[in-house]
């Protein structure tokens, strides 16, 4: 079974890329999904020889071809400076049995959002949601396409994989110290992130949607949730049946996103394109891949452009892992890779990791990706090696 592992560039550079590649090959790892564009982050790096933590604002971890870009330009990571970690890592991996994929959280950048408030997702109340750029905005689309082409043109990646190049939920995936003393629930998350920027409004209007009515309904739904008139576990589908104008508004985003993904695939030429599915939420509010339509993702339509779909099946219960993989296989017409979180809070033993992997394989996963090289202890890396040694 083909197995990849996600890695942040600082861990590979600090250890020495060639040495890291040899260590990974010995564990049975075939590919590294290397972060090239990453949201703001603090990582704990248990086995990094140079540092035990790394802080960064949302950044690119390579030297871009600046001439390609328009209004929105990459943010080269300050710690990397004038170096090019991608070039350094690609040189270290050359001649080893481990291939490289690019991993990018394309539109999840609070730094870009603060610099381009007109290009962010915009709540039904008109708030700029700075953690996410809106995929309907032409400048954002141009940035995404050029960034993808820039990475493809480096000729070092088998696959350019991305996540969060879609319409994110209202709380995004966290931003600094959020003070949310209210449980939005699935409906609240969906409605608060439903973007009413001018471009999303124009697209919906062109599709024949009553935009003002949709916005009023979205605001009223959120206010009802804030004030407890709607429960946190209100069924989103049921609510949308009663508010078809909101459904039509959300549905108009599908075509925009599918076309954009077609452009990503196009600019990549012979390099493969992959996308990650993790729809967010915690505990009872967790949303699996079947909720991807809330992000504007049309899995069937996207399949013509995707060479691989990765489902981030992060759950301590292996039956949920199995369901995530199974559902993804039923929704997309592309090979499915199962993302397994090989550390806390999901996996605390070799036996647990084995259960997770076996659940994914049983459900028909075509390949695996483990999270993640520098952020789990060496002990967990050994578990990965042990489990891979016994999986066909
Ligand atoms: Zn928008």
Is the pLDDT at 141 greater than 80? The verdict is yes
Q: What is the mean pLDDT of residues 196-200?
A: 98
Is the pLDDT at 281 greater than 90? The verdict is no
Distance 120 CA to ligand 1 centre (A): 7
Distance 263 CA to ligand 1 centre (A): 18
pLDDT per residue over 21-80, tens digit each? 999 999 999 999 999 999 999 999 999 999 999 999 999 999 999 999 999 999 999 999
Sketch the domain layout of the chain as residue ranges.
2-178+256-388
Look at residue 294 in the predicted model and tell me its pLDDT.
93
Distance 280 CA to ligand 1 centre (A): 20
Q: Which residue has the tokens 């991608």?
A: 86
Look at residue 180 in the predicted model and tell me its pLDDT.
86
Distance 92 CA to ligand 1 centre (A): 41
**Cβ proximity of 221 and 239 under 8 Å:** yes
Confidence of residue 280 (pLDDT cuts 50, 70, 90): confident
Distance 121 CA to ligand 1 centre (A): 5
Q: Looking at the chain, which runs of residues are DSSP E strands? A: 2-7, 31-38, 41-44, 53-56, 59-60, 99-105, 120-122, 128-133, 159-163, 272-277, 308-312, 336-341, 367-371
CATH 3.20.20.80 fits 2-178+256-388, yes or no: yes
d(CA 156, CA 93): 10
Continuous segment of H or E residues that includes residue 355: helix 350-362
Distance 113 CA to ligand 1 centre (A): 13
Distance 369 CA to ligand 1 centre (A): 31
Distance 157 CA to ligand 1 centre (A): 31
Distance 122 CA to ligand 1 centre (A): 6
Look at residue 293 in the predicted model and tell me its pLDDT.
94
d(CA 368, CA 69): 34
Confidence of residue 151 (pLDDT cuts 50, 70, 90): very high
Confidence of residue 116 (pLDDT cuts 50, 70, 90): very high
Q: Which residues of 5-43 are buried (b: 16+ CB within 10 A; e: fewer)?
A: bbbbbbbbbbbebbebbebbeebbbbbbbbbbbbbbeeb
Confidence of residue 278 (pLDDT cuts 50, 70, 90): confident
Q: Which residue has the higher pLDDT, 171 or 168?
A: 168
Confidence of residue 13 (pLDDT cuts 50, 70, 90): very high
d(CA 179, CA 267): 40
Is the pLDDT at 391 greater than 80? The verdict is yes
Is the pLDDT at 20 greater than 80? The verdict is yes
């Amino acid at each position: 079974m083909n197995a990849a592992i996600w890695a942040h560039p600082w861990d590979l550079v600090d250890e020495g890329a060639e040495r890291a590649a040899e260590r990974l090959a010995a564990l049975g790892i075939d590919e590294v999904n290397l972060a090239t564009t990453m949201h703001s982050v603090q990582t704990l790096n248990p086995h990094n020889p140079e540092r035990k933590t790394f802080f960064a604002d949302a950044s690119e971890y390579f030297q871009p071809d600046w001439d390609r870009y328009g209004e929105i330009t990459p943010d080269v990571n300050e710690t990397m400076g004038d170096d090019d970690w991608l070039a350094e890592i690609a040189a270290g991996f050359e001649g080893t049995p481990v291939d490289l994929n690019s991993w990018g959280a394309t539109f999840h950048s609070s730094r870009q959002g603060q610099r381009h408030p007109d290009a962010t997702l915009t709540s039904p109340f008109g708030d700029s949601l700075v953690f996410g750029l809106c995929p309907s905005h032409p400048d954002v689309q141009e940035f995404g396409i050029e960034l993808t082409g820039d990475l493809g043109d480096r000729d070092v990646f088998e696959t350019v994989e991305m996540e969060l190049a879609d319409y994110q939920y209202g709380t995004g995936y966290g931003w600094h110290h959020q003070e949310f003393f209210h449980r939005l629930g699935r409906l609240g998350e969906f409605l608060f992130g439903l973007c009413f920027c001018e471009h999303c409004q124009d697209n919906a209007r062109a599709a024949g949607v009553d935009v003002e009515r949709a916005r009023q309904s979205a605001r009223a739904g959120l206010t009802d949730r804030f004030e407890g008139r709607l429960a946190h576990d209100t069924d989103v589908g049921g609510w949308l049946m009663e508010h078809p104008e909101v459904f039509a508004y959300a549905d108009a985003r599908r075509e925009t996103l599918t076309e954009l993904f077609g452009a990503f695939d196009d600019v990549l030429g012979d390099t493969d394109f992959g996308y990650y599915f993790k729809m967010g939420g915690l505990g009872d509010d967790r949303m699996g891949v079947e909720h991807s339509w809330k992000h504007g993702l049309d899995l069937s339509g996207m399949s013509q452009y995707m060479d691989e779909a990765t489902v981030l099946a992060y759950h301590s219960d292996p039956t949920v892992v199995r369901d995530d993989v199974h559902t993804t296989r039923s929704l997309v017409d592309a090979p499915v890779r199962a993302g397994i979180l090989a550390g806390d809070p999901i996996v605390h033993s070799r036996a647990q990791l084995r259960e997770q992997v076996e659940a994914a394989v049983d459900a028909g996963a075509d390949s695996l990706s483990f999270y993640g090289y520098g952020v789990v202890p060496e002990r967990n890396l050994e578990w990965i090696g042990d489990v891979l040694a016994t999986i066909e």
